[in-house]
Amino acid sequence: MKKLIFVFFLFPILSKNVFAIETIAKQAILYDMDTKSVLFKKNSDQLVSPSSMSKIMTIYYVFKKISEGELSLQDEFIVSKKAWKKGGSKMFVKVNEKVKVEDLIRGIIVQSGNDACIVLAEGLSGSEKLFSEELTGLGKEIGLKNSFFTNSTGWPDPEHLMTVDDLLTLSIRTIKDFPDLFHYYSEKEFTFSGIKQLNRNPLLFTDLNSDGLKTGHTSLGGYGLVATVKKNDRRLILVLNGLNSSKDRAKEAQRLLKIGFNQFEILKIAKANEKLKTLNVWGGDKKKINIFSKDEIKITIPKKIKKQLSFAIKYQSPLIPPIISEEPIGEFLIKKNKEILKKFELFTDQNVRKMNFFQKIGHNFRYLLFGESVIINNE
């Protein structure tokens, strides 16, 4: 009979109480991109009106077309009357004017231009409706679980919805997928048609030196922000929504990011591909295998936690062939009390086959002579 085996390791950490973060935001999540650790979250799976933060999805679509060679920064699209008339924040394009894609990108990221979004949507998909349907489909492809787009701008619509979790996923994908284009999010100002506008992201103008991403505000969703800051080797991403004012948004974002950098640290446990344990194999052409994680095992934790973390290796025992190197055979668990904080799949670099008939006879003969291992039945 197989049974689950847990091998425990205990490591004392510095503090006694679980570190709790409070926020006045209705929805929030703070994430360490280096260790893939969620530092805290609040109502992050609630469907909300994302307002202009959903423009990150519009830009993701555009960046994807550019990276695939289907679109150039120098391509031009013609401004329709619909785009020109759109209310809210504007880039101030003119009807029938040809505007370069690069200017439209800046018009969306820096100026949050609803008109610029519609120009790109119509130019790329023929209509904003079709473009929105493509956004929803693309969102599913990149891992958004609860995002539904009915327009390119984030204009209030009861069916235009996202979660804070999805805004985080979208931000991670944007940073990872388009390193050569991400710099547009850090631009502090843009002038078009003689009108200079500053980036609406307040963290670009603070000592945090944020390099993205996007603010949003509607009466339906409140004030929101997706922000990222890189300091040394750490990059944090913060998503906030449902705040009462732009002042609250800026103040709360700075406070939470500073907590993330100042009161949390990275605990490194094992390097990628470092041997963690040697396991016995029953009835295989190899007696033992080494197991490891393909990823570095690390987690971001509060600096001052008085309770202990426990680390456990979990696997099925006995290990019986066939064992395939590309398939996970266990997990490394990082736990606090009974809560699993993080887990990593464990692999071996060896393929193990079942013993053939003659190997089993030889194995059992050695056991009878030397008491080695166990008798293997020919079943």
Residues marked active site are found at 52, 55, 112
Integer Cα distance of 198 and 306 in angstroms: 45
Structure tokens at 65: 């077309």
Question: Whose CA is closest to 239, among 106, 114, 53?
Answer: 53
DSSP string for residues in 277-339: EEEEBSSBSSSEEEEB-SS-EEEEEES---SPEEEEEEEEESB-S-B-TTS--EEEEEEETTE
Q: What is the C-alpha to C-alpha distance for residues 126 and 40, in angstroms, rounded to an integer?
A: 41
Bridge partners (DSSP) of residue 316 are 4
Q: How far apart are CA 82 and CA 157, in angstroms?
A: 18
Is there a contact between 30 and 21 (Cβ–Cβ < 8 Å)? yes
State whether residue 241 is helix, strand or coil.
strand
DSSP assignment of 115-134 equals HHHHHHHHHHHSSHHHHHHH
Structure-token pair, residue 145: 């679980």
Please state, in angstroms and rounded to a whole number, the distance separating the CA atoms of residues 175 and 185: 10
| Matching residue, tokens 């997928």 | 177
Token pair 């209509």 is found at 127
What are 131's two structure tokens? 């473009």
What residues contact 319, with CB distance under 8 A and at least 6 apart?
279, 280, 281, 282, 284, 289, 329
